[in-house]
Amino acid sequence: MAKITLKNLKHSYLPFPTEDSHYSLKKMSLDWADGGAYALLGPSGCGKTTLLNLISGLLIPTEGSILFDGRDVSRATPEERNIAQVFQFPVIYDTMTVYDNLAFPLRNRGVAEVEIDKRVHEIAGMLDLTKTLKNRASGLTADGKQKISLGRGLVRSDVNVIMFDEPLTVIDPHLKWKLRSKLKELHQRTRRTMIYVTHDQTEALTFADQVVVMKDGEIVQTGTPIELFERPMHTFVGHFIGSPGMNVLPCEVKAGKAIFAGQNIATVNAKSYKGKSQKLELGVRPEFVSFAKKGIPVDIVKVADAGRFRIVETRNGTSSIKLLVPEGEDIPSGKTHLSFDATHTQVYENGWMVGGRT
Amino acid sequence: MALELKDISQRVGADIHIHDTSVTFENGSFNVLLGTTLAGKTTLMQLIAGIQKPTSGEIWFKGKNITKLPVQKRNVSVVYQQFINYPNFTVYDNIASPLRVAGMDAAEIDVRVNKAADLLRLTTMLQRKPSELSGGQQQRTAIARAMVKDSDIILLDEPLANLDYKLREELREELPKLFAGRDAIVVYATTEPSEALLFGGNTATMHEGRITQFGPTAGVYRKPSNLISAQVFSEPPMNTAKITKRGTEIVIFNSIKWPAGRAEKTLPDGDYTIGIRPHNIATEGHGKAVGAIKGRVLVTELSGSESIIHCDIDGQTWISQSHGIHPFDVGETAKLFVDIDQSLFFGTNNEFIA
């Protein structure tokens, strides 16, 4: 296992990139500690797969370098980098047994059969595959096959990093819960460095200790799931993480106070605003909005039942404000008022949290 | 006036894909087929569309037997999980294609295409080819094509499954609005309970080729008529265990005693299966009818605002989903509290009791 460092990494698919827009991956630097669980989260086209392919060696970076434990591997082949990768669709040998599939990466590397047997049984035990070891892989269900792919990723103890590229996308929701928690459990047991790429916030937040949120080839924020939820540094992070995403409302800031709908709104950071008269917005998650006797006047537009809570959509002028109401609690009808939790309401300038960037 | 499936079944060789099924979808209704892969959702849709013929039973539409009517004569639109568009047509021509086939005049086509494009926010994309669109825009084009002709029946087979999480959220909000006020019957297949809930309308829970329950969505979710419907309609998966109810007590895992709560009056003494949704298990207990239980933590997932704790209790895996951050370590013993009044009780034949 290794510590991974990206240093001023840039990548363009064009042969002679000259301007910023030519780069699929803009300048990127970060450190991933040995043994950590990391996620790369972002929409399609944000550059996360490009980054993954640069780390695995399928692509050579246009600029900058990739270091494993301080050693530059930017131009090393995938084999030399010694990594394991699990893909969206199960990659297994249908004609082999489950045992032989799990043993394959070890046999390829010339590991002794005694050692192979030990490793295969250990991994099979963790993944509840022990009983099916002698079965042919072709007869398995989609999640059974994906479990083998996970097992093959985990079976070698000498890899620098294990990378997962949307590994649960094709799995049914019920089984997704099982496999997802299994993967997290495996990380906690084995403490391998793992990088998990996904567009699904639930998968990223529940798996990783640190999540890297990407947009348009750039890192927008890196943080723990709690940091990303409670302090989104950019309105994009607020929107992308959370379901529904953060409410983003037009506002003004005067004398260190945020004003929305003609009312003073208490916030975390309005005081730090230095007054550049750029686009100003207020961000507050639906989880931190509640009904109140007085406050922001709104009309209730729609109530959607999500089971354990309801998503209530309200409107003030042209602004839509959503809030979550737990199952069983009353929802007023027609006109009402809202209040925002001051400790979780932030001001954003041109998308970025005021006073947030250092 | 509606679409009626009367005792239809579908067998392929010795395999039964759909067991005898009867269900009625009303005009202007939004209906969700909810179930795992291979539950029979796609087969049922193909029978409705006329792409497959039932082995037995009849399909009636607006009072007419259409069982033998071929797909071309059924006035049905279908949207699939894979984005299917004509690659060499522009978005405009893709949306217009069913109207051109029907021989509609160009002026009327133009009005309809523009209206559909406006609803699906494709107006600025009309002159592009599908390959120049994002996945979400490609699927919007397919949906616009399904909507543009006045189909009697619109079938959507997991249309959002291949889209990014956030796009899915967006389209999930838009879709019911698109069909509101139309006379068409919409049938929407999904594997995701949360999707069914947010659509509202009606839901049919499906399991192994059977509809296990059909009715208004919130009703099916809160009052499942049997254990299987409850399990199909629970995400994260529902926690279950055998219990014995005796007077004011419930005995669970052979020796642990809980207060019976509302079950004291609604449940005769005897053996049952209890079903507890993960959000009704918390890390602290409030109120009267709370059952305490200890579990060995397998893993804790923290989503930023919630904690999902997977525990081993007597060889079974239970899941608790609670508000706030409760970071338990692997192997630690967690004390959990079950809201008994929110739990469901099923009889020995898995039928809903209370």
Domains of chain B by residue range: 2-232, 239-346
Helical segments of chain B, H only: 41-49, 91-101, 106-119, 135-148, 165-179, 193-199, 217-222, 227-232, 263-266
Mutate to test the interface with B, among A184, A194, A233, A287 (most CBs of B within 10 A): A184
Mutate to test the interface with A, among B303, B312, B342 (most CBs of A within 10 A): B303
Architecture per CATH, B239-346: Beta Barrel (2.40)
Which of A142, A200, A304 is the closest to B165 by Cβ?
A200
The H or E element containing residue A347 is strand A345-349
- DSSP lists the bridge partners of residue A193 as none
Pairwise CA distance, residues A302 & A30, whole Å:
43
Q: Which of A32-36, A311-315, B88-92, B120-124 has the lowest mean pLDDT?
A: B120-124
Pairwise CA distance, residues B66 & B71, whole Å:
10
The H or E element containing residue B155 is strand B153-157
Mutate to test the interface with B, among A168, A176, A177 (most CBs of B within 10 A): A177
With an 8 Å Cβ cutoff, is B193 touching chain A?
yes
The pTM (predicted TM-score) of the whole model is 0.90
pLDDT at position B168: 87
Q: Are B233 and B203 in contact (CB under 8 A)?
A: yes
Q: Give the pLDDT mean for B10-22.
A: 94
Contact B302 A244 (CB under 8 A): no
Q: Which of A211-215, B162-166, B323-327, B335-339 has the lowest mean pLDDT?
A: B162-166
pLDDT one-digit tens code per residue, B277-303:
999 999 988 777 899 999 999 999 888
The segment(s) of chain A belonging to CATH 2.40.50.140 are 245-353
Which of B191, B197, B277 is the closest to A305 by Cβ?
B197
Q: What is the full DSSP assignment across A75-131?
A: T--HHHH--EEE-SS----TTSBHHHHHHHHHHHTT--HHHHHHHHHHHHHHTT-GG
**Cα atoms in the 13 Å half-sphere on the side-chain side of B253:** 17
Contact residues, chain B, for A201 at CB < 8 Å:
165
Which of A43, A226, A304 is the closest to B166 by Cβ?
A43
Question: What's the token pair of residue B299?
Answer: 């893993």
* Superfamily (CATH) of domain B2-232: P-loop containing nucleotide triphosphate hydrolases (3.40.50.300)
Contact B200 A202 (CB under 8 A): no
- Number of cross-chain residue pairs from A and B with Cβ atoms under 8 Å apart: 97
User: Shortest CA distance to A345 belongs to which of A260, A236, A244, A223?
Assistant: A260
Q: pLDDT at residue B150 above 90?
A: no
Q: Are A126 and A189 in contact (CB under 8 A)?
A: yes
Helical segments of B28-133, H only: 41-49, 91-101, 106-119
The segment(s) of chain A belonging to CATH 3.40.50.300 are 4-230
Pairwise CA distance, residues B177 & B211, whole Å:
26
* Residue A311 φ/ψ, nearest 5 degrees: -100, 115
Contact A45 B166 (CB under 8 A): no
**Cα atoms in the 13 Å half-sphere on the side-chain side of B111:** 4
Q: Are A290 and A345 in contact (CB under 8 A)?
A: no
Domain A4-230 sits in CATH at: 3.40.50.300
Q: What percent of chain B has pLDDT over 70?
A: 100
User: In angstroms, what is the C-alpha Rg of chain A?
Assistant: 24
pLDDT at position B136: 82
Contact residues, chain A, for B193 at CB < 8 Å:
173, 307
The residues of A whose Cβ lies within 8 A of any Cβ of B are: 43-45, 142, 172-174, 177, 180-181, 184-185, 188-189, 199-202, 205-207, 225-226, 228-230, 239-245, 287, 304-308, 311
With an 8 Å Cβ cutoff, is B302 touching chain A?
yes
Query: Is A245-353 assigned to CATH 1.20.140.10?
Result: no
Which of A43, A181, A305 is the closest to B301 by Cβ?
A181
pLDDT at position A1: 66
Mutate to test the interface with A, among B174, B197, B301 (most CBs of A within 10 A): B301
Q: Give the pLDDT mean for B107-134.
A: 91
Contact B279 A305 (CB under 8 A): no
Question: What's the token pair of residue A321?
Answer: 């404000």
Contact residues, chain B, for A202 at CB < 8 Å:
165, 303
Contact A43 B164 (CB under 8 A): yes
User: Shortest CA distance to A345 belongs to which of A308, A311, A296, A276?
Assistant: A296
Which of B169, B217, B330 is the closest to A244 by Cβ?
B169
* Nearest residue of chain B to residue A200 (CA atoms): B165
Tokens 């904690």: give the residue: B307
Q: What's the DSSP call for residue B238?
A: P
Whole-Å CA distances, B71 to A302, B42, B53, B184, B187 = 37, 15, 10, 17, 16
Q: Give the pLDDT mean for B130-137.
A: 86
pLDDT at position B107: 95
Banded pLDDT at B154 (limits 50, 70, 90)? very high
Contact residues, chain B, for A229 at CB < 8 Å:
303-305
From B302's Cα to the closest Cα of chain A, the distance in A is 5
pLDDT one-digit tens code per residue, B190-249:
999 999 999 999 999 999 999 999 999 999 999 999 999 999 999 999 999 999 999 999
Which residue positions in chain A have pLDDT lower than 50?
none
